[in-house]
């Protein structure tokens, strides 16, 4: 995995202080923490309905002292902003090509010799999506790491880390349980988020 804003000394400290102050001043409450025995995990990013989700997610990650990487569509990694997006922890995903993203992501998680969290939005898009994609589940199951149910609720201005979920391999039952957890949360554009099919 490449160096990011979260692994850059001094910058990390300064931006954590800014993030904590900004979230507090704007009324956001950051909740939860990463369990100490969970150095590597896949974080669900939901609801994902707005461009504002990224800066808020980064600030919450700083506040929680995470080392996140996140997936984004390939178009936002084009010049002149590609380098910045990668420094922010971004990994380009080309949706037009059929590559084995699950296997590559799982291998990168296993190969990393440091704590990291891979953030994956289940909708796969900030536009309206009724069907959740299961990439986050398959990455976690293949890498044999837990899923952490991260959330951002604009209605109550709460964001943070929820329960740790261990994939059982029964994807239908597991997805149903995960979606039940997310049912109460509202995205910035609440009508675009559906935690059920």
Instruction: Report pLDDT digits (tens) over 13-60.
Output: 999 999 999 999 999 999 999 988 888 999 998 888 888 998 999 999
> What pLDDT is stored for residue 124 in this prediction?
54
> What pLDDT is stored for residue 66 in this prediction?
94
> What pLDDT is stored for residue 133 in this prediction?
85
Average pLDDT over residues 81-97: 81
Task: Report the chain's mean pLDDT, rounded to a whole number.
Answer: 87
> What pLDDT is stored for residue 115 in this prediction?
87
> What pLDDT is stored for residue 184 in this prediction?
94
> What pLDDT is stored for residue 128 in this prediction?
47
E strands, 24-67, in order? 29-31, 40-46
The Cα 109–Cα 106 span in angstroms is 5
> What pLDDT is stored for residue 156 in this prediction?
97
For 92, phi and psi rounded to 5 degrees? -70, 135
> What pLDDT is stored for residue 129 in this prediction?
47
The Cα 116–Cα 40 span in angstroms is 5
Instruction: Report pLDDT digits (tens) over 115-134.
Output: 899 998 886 544 444 568 88
């Amino acid at each position: 995995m490449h160096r990011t804003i979260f692994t850059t000394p001094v910058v990390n400290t300064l931006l954590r202080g800014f993030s904590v102050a900004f979230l507090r001043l704007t009324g956001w409450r950051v909740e939860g923490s990463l369990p100490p025995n969970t150095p590597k995990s896949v974080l669900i990013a939901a609801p994902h309905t707005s461009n504002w989700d990224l800066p808020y997610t980064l600030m919450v990650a700083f506040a929680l002292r995470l080392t996140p990487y996140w997936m984004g569509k390939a178009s936002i990694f084009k010049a002149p902003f590609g380098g910045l997006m990668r420094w922010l922890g971004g990994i380009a995903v080309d949706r037009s090509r059929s590559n084995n993203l699950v296997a590559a992501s799982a291998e990168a998680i296993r190969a990393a010799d440091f704590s990291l969290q891979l953030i994956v939005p289940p909708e796969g898009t900030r536009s309206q999506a009724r069907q959740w994609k299961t990439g986050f589940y398959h990455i976690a199951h293949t890498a044999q790491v837990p899923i952490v149910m991260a959330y951002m609720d604009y209605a109550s201005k709460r964001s943070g880390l929820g329960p740790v979920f261990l994939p059982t391999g029964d994807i239908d039952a597991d997805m149903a349980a995960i979606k039940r957890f997310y049912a109460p949360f509202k995205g910035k554009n609440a009508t675009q988020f559906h935690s059920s099919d």
